[in-house]
Each structure stands twice: as structure tokens, then as C-alpha cells.
Structure 1
Amino acid sequence: MSGNSLRRFPGTGLMAVFFFAFLYLPVAVLIALSFNENRSATIWTGFTIDWYFRIFENRDIVAAAINSVIVATAATIFSTLIATIAALGMARDRFPGQAAVSSTIALPLIVPEIITAVATLIFFVGIGLSLGLGTVILAHVVFCIPFAYLPIRARLEGMDRRLADAAADLYADEWQTFRRVTLPLLWPGILSGALLAFITSLDDFVITFFVSGPGASTLPLYIFSSIRIGISPEINAISSVMLVVSILFVSLSFLIGRRG
């Protein structure tokens, strides 16, 4: 049927090639220029990997990377914990307003991120909370909950509920059933959601830009502030590293989530 569709609409394949080239060719160029030995990012003079070593010698990049890891780790732990509790609660017997609760959990995926960022900033200012690394963590926890929730919820939907009933027939209480039956089966979904939450927090720029304060710069903020004065192979190198890390985490999340 797909072949008939392509024959029915000539040029579809060419448009698909143009679309993916427009989307990914700049990324490929960025990675290639990160190996450029010239200080100018746009003039190729030779191959080198020195820029990848220099990013570890740059104190500002190292400090931003540490902040990013701290924020992403804290956001992952708390958002995954909340998402797991929410998924377990939603998987139990249906209750009035369940659809509304489910929609509310997924709301950050639908609402434009800029609106979430502005609303979060207004909330923090309204309650008198000083902007810093703590506010970034709080904002990221809320933003990452649906990313952790969806794989966990999908895993619960695919579980055989008769296993829990069998555990109850063997005189296991709710805690024993959760620890010995539900949690081992749910663990791939939890890990998959945690990986998605981590990389979402690590790569986030918009929310971090609005709710961060002095000393709370993360890697995306550092890259944004650096490109204002020009793009260098050093920026291309750190961007390439973040790209590889993102692909790795998303791939691991996908593979772990598919485990039977």
C-alpha cells in the first residue's frame, strides 16, 4: 500500500529526502566542523580532536556540565518517583475524573514550553523564591514527570494483572505483591522513563533560561551565551558530545522499554 501511495503522489520520495536533509544536514556539518583544527569554525584547514580535550580544560564548561548533571540527576530521581506512584495509582480501579488527571499529567507535553517557563517564573517570584539551582531543579522535576510517566504507564498496561491476583491467592499482602511481582516486571519501564527524564532535563534550555539564577548556568545556557560572540570548534565539540549523549540515552530508553 505504501508503494501505491508513492506512485500515486510523484515527488513524495524527493520531498522526504529534502525534509531529512534540511533537518539533519546542519547537525552533520556541526559534527564535522568540531574536528576542524582552525580556530574559525567555518574555514576547514585540517583534522584534529584537540577541541574535545580542550572542553575538559575549560573551567566554565566543566562548571556548567556539573550543574547540568546535578539538575538532571535530582530531576530524574524525584520525577521518576512521582511518576511511578502516579502510574500505579492510575492503574488501579477507575475513579471519577481519572481521564482529567491523566490529561493533567500529560499537559507539559502539550503546552508550549515557553508558556510553562513563564508561568513557572511568575510562580517562583510570586512566592518569593530566590532563583538559582534549586528553582531549576524544581521546575525540571515538574516538567520531566510526563516523560517518566508514559513509559511506566505503558509498562503497567502491558502487565498481566492475573499475576497480582495469583500472588494474593498465595497470601501475599500488597507490599509483598508490589516488591516481588509488580516491581520486577515494572523495572524496565521505570528505568526507561528515568532515562527519558534525565536526557530531557540535561538538554532543556527554555525553562532553565527563565528560572535559573547566578551560578546556575547549565550546558545549554553556556552554549547559548557563547554563540553570541561567535561559534568556535570548542562549541561545536561540546554540542556534538551532548548530541551523542542524547542519542545514547534515548536509544537505551527505547531498548529497555521494549524488554519483555
Structure 2
Amino acid sequence: MDEALLAFYQQLYTGTPLYVVPEPGTAAPLAAPAAPTVAAPAVAAAAAVASSAAQPVPPAVTPPPASVASAAGGQGKLPSLADLKAARSAAPATPPPAPAPVAAPTAPPVLAAPPVSAPPVAPQAPPQRPPVDFDTLGSNANGLILLVRLEDPTRLPRIQRNVFLNNMLKAIQRVMEECVIVNVKSPYPVSLEELRARGLAVREVIGFGKNLLDVATKRTQPYEPVRIGDVAYLPAAEVEMIEYDNGRKKQLWQALQRMFLA
């Protein structure tokens, strides 16, 4: 062993007392001299160094902190609870950061829709019915009109010579030459305006059939004379039905008296 290394170990263990525990019943042995006791550990240490030199060197280990080393060695002084409380009270208390205010979500502005004006509603015109087609025969200087509806227009001259109609006119002090016969060929009733537009004078009207004069279709009853404005109107049955029916002849005669002779 190197002499310098041996001298180092001797100096390291100089002054270190060695104790031997005596066996019970025996006297304590005397303390061995310092030099021999130091030499034995020194020799052992030198042998350990020599054996470690033959082995590979492990990587360097970072020494632990002083506080850890002192705690492991049992020589350092552990901090007391009072010291920890004093350290905490000495440190300034840092309040926790206040939470950032959360902005309330803003609703998008509601835009009011502009008022929509309803388009003006045009008044509906009444349905236009087609003009009524009719034929006339005779003149009406006194304004008397006989309304009929003949399926065969060629029968119109024979109606003018009908004995029943001529006798009826004589009973009310009229003649066939003073009245006009109108044959309504349309299924629609004729109007007073259409008759006047043809140049006819309209004061008294006798209708032989149904649905012949438009202003009197819903307000009249058979053989009941009515006044429509300045026009007197008398509805009756067809000429063929009255001519051969004495009951209808009587009803017609009574209605003619109320209309012309009252």
C-alpha cells in the first residue's frame, strides 16, 4: 500500500476511541493502543481501495442537497413546527386572483318588419249575363206588352190571331193592334231596360209563362198583379193551359179586373 495513503488513513482515525463490550462476568479489557487499532482499519481500507481499482468506475452521482444529507446523517437540525408557522406569517399573504367577469351574451337586435300594406281589393263586378234574345210582333202605342216563350218562332203570328187572347183584350177594353207580343227565345228573363232599348213603351206587362221578366221572378205569384216602379206586371200560366182550363180563365179574369178595371 502507498505510504501516503496509509498515512492519510492513520491521520483520519487518530483520536477516535474504540470500545469493546465486555462479556458478562468478565472484567472489561483494557483499551488497546491507538496506533494498532488505527492500523487495522487502515489496512482494510487500503485493500478495499485496491480491489475497487480493478472494477469499472461507476458514473458520478450528484451529491444530495445539504438538507437531505443532514437529515439522512441524523446530524442536521430538523425545522420545528414553530419555525414553519413563523415563516408562513412572515411571508406576505397573496390573495387569490379574482375571477374574470363573464360577459353576458348579447342577443342580436330584433329588427321590426316594415308594415306591409294590403293591396287594395277591387270591388267585384256583378257577373254579366249574356243579352237576352227576343222577337217582337205588333206595336204598343198604349204601352201594353204580352210576354210569351215559344219553342217554335213560327208560331208567333198564330198567337196574334188567337181567339182567346183577342177576347181577353176586348174584356179589358183593349185591342190586339194596341199591344206588342214579345217572344223571349232565351232561357234567361228579359229586363225592362232591354225592352226599352228596343224602342218599346213599357207601362203594363202580362207574362204568359215562367221566368219571363227579371225584376219579377222572385216577388210575384201567379195571377197576382204587382207594381214594379212605374210598371204594372201580371204573371199567368201559358196561353195553351189557360185556353182549355176554365179555372185558370176565372183566375186570370179576376186578376185583369184588379189590374185594368179597378
Shared fold per TM-score greater than 0.5: no
Q: Whose strand fraction is larger, Structure 1's or Structure 2's? A: 2
**Structure 1 length normalisation: TM-score?**
0.20
**Structure 2 length normalisation: TM-score?**
0.20
Q: Whose helix fraction is larger, Structure 1's or Structure 2's? A: 1
Larger Rg: 2
More relative contact order, 1 or 2 (CA 8 Å, 6+ apart): 1
